[in-house]
Amino acid sequence: MNLPDYNEARTRDKRKYNRLTFKLDKNIEKKYVGKTYFLKTYGCQMNEHDSENISALLEALGFSRVDDYNDADLVLLNTCSIRENAHNKAFGMLGRLKHLKSEKKDLLIGLCGCMAQEASVVEEILKDYKFVNFVFGTHNLYQLPEILDEAVKSSKQQIEVFSREGDLVEGLPVIRSNDFKAYVNIIYGCDKFCTYCIVPYTRGRERSRKKEDILEEIKELVRDGYKEVTLLGQNVNAYGKDLYDNYNMGDLLEEIALMNIPRIRFMTSHPWDFTDKMIEVIGKYPNIMPSVHLPVQSGSNRILKLMGRRYTKESYLELFHKIKDTIPGVAISTDIIVGFPGENEEDFQETMSLVQECKYDNAFTFVFSQREGTPACKLKDNTTQEEKEERLQRLNEVVNTYFLENNKKLVGTTVKVLVEGTNEKKDMYFGYSETNKLINFTSDKTIYCGDIVDVEITDAKTWSLDGRVQ
Ligand code: 5AD
Ligand code: SF4
């Protein structure tokens, strides 16, 4: 048994980690043919992509997927720790599974992802959720086949969680959930340690994949007809820093832009590492989508300092305007936390004024959530939850008006859309524009999923646009 430990997870040193190539143990390949699995994913794109690897590992063992957990022989929860409600959702699901297991004794239940990296969660599972058969963390996902096999053989809970990121594993199998859009990891982990954030503990230090491995994966995606890649990392802008002296995110973006892939996206960017070279490259290549997610978190310098964000409102705005001025038609989205410990009305008004200046195309807004083990947990907090919720509401009202205002400017223009499918009534297609806006549209011509079509925008809503194919 290996239990998670935050002291170890916090450690950053010069120690080199290993780079391994995944190999499936032949003794368990296809051992579970006829068995079914249900996989539930919480959280971010990183988790979604991990789940694409998990599905492929399970299918290599012989499992086939079902959409209803009542029909499954194995239920696996790939969890998220970012805010308390993500936690609550996973524990709520475990409650339902407990009930199911009381009727179906052979049901296997597993938990993985970010929550598995938290000592308090694992303690709780050991104590109160004995029906969970196995737990593994984000650093040892590649060991799923062995851990699962051991759990089947043994009556004991299998808890295998590495706190220090061990290895960077290439060659994991993957079953992609979309035929035209693909996620490609470029860097794992985060070294920023923003004081509110649990990610540096659950995902470990920054580790870049070798550029050759990334380029090879994209080459294969192009060969398979993929139209869009999203380069993933907790902070993609730090790409290469741990690996190369003279090759960073700007260089990687440029090399990928020269490959034959129609659309390139990336997320997430910390404002601290956003270089001029990156801005120049994004502006220069039409296949790098003019869409930047640039989390600001707060508009108050006092709060930004307490958050450990390493920039001021002024330097953020300077970067924001440089991106807007250099990349034609760019859409910028953001993340904002309200109710950080010590945030007063004046600080909140600073955030409101920043939002009024930036007029974001999209914003993900959150009330601060205490994460055990993070420095912000220890800060004094006099604001009531009610007041925080009320600030969130005021903020949302303002950001929403800008989403609509920006969308309205597009009415009458023509945008390029990657066709993804039809809506439930099948009377409209949907897809995303280059600036990552959801477009619902009609077409008189025959079009197919994966096509990139010109759509004339006819109507604007807050979170989507309507149009018709030209
Ligand atoms: N409370 C609220 N929001 C958080 N985020 C990260 N940690 C917390 C927390 N403890 C938000 C940040 C981040 C996004 C992914 O989630 O805005 O950018
Ligand atoms: Fe949630 Fe962060 Fe883990 Fe993604 S990396 S699943 S957002 S805690």
| Atom number of ligand 2 nearest to Cα 86 | 1
Residue 5 has a pLDDT of: 78
Read off the pTM: 0.95
Residue 434 has a pLDDT of: 98
Whose alpha carbon is nearest atom 2 of ligand 1?
A: 368
Cβ–ligand 2 distance for 143 under 6 Å, the answer: no
Cβ–ligand 1 distance for 83 under 6 Å, the answer: yes
Hey, what domains does the chain have and what are their CATH numbers?
6-160 (3.40.50.12160), 178-289 (3.30.750.210), 290-408 (3.30.750.200), 414-469 (2.40.50.140)
| Atom number of ligand 2 nearest to Cα 44 | 4
Cβ–ligand 1 distance for 371 under 6 Å, the answer: yes
Residue 339 Cα to ligand 2 middle (Å): 20
pLDDT in tens, 381-431: 999 999 999 999 999 999 999 999 999 999 999 999 999 999 888 889 999
Cβ–ligand 2 distance for 43 under 6 Å, the answer: yes
Q: Which residues of the chain have pLDDT under 70?
A: 14-15, 165-166
Whose alpha carbon is nearest atom 5 of ligand 2?
A: 199
Residue 14 has a pLDDT of: 63
Residue 31 Cα to ligand 2 middle (Å): 32
Residue 163 has a pLDDT of: 79
Residue 4 has a pLDDT of: 80
Q: Which of 200, 118, 194, 116 is nearest to 366 (CA)?
A: 194
Cβ–ligand 1 distance for 82 under 6 Å, the answer: yes
CA distance 82 to 96: 22
pLDDT in tens, 2-44: 878 777 777 777 667 778 899 999 999 999 999 999 999 999 9
Residue 366 Cα to ligand 1 middle (Å): 7
Residue 337 Cα to ligand 1 middle (Å): 6
Residue 46 has a pLDDT of: 96
Q: Which of 117, 184, 162 is nearest to 18 (CA)?
A: 162
CA distance 317 to 274: 13
Cβ–ligand 1 distance for 313 under 6 Å, the answer: no
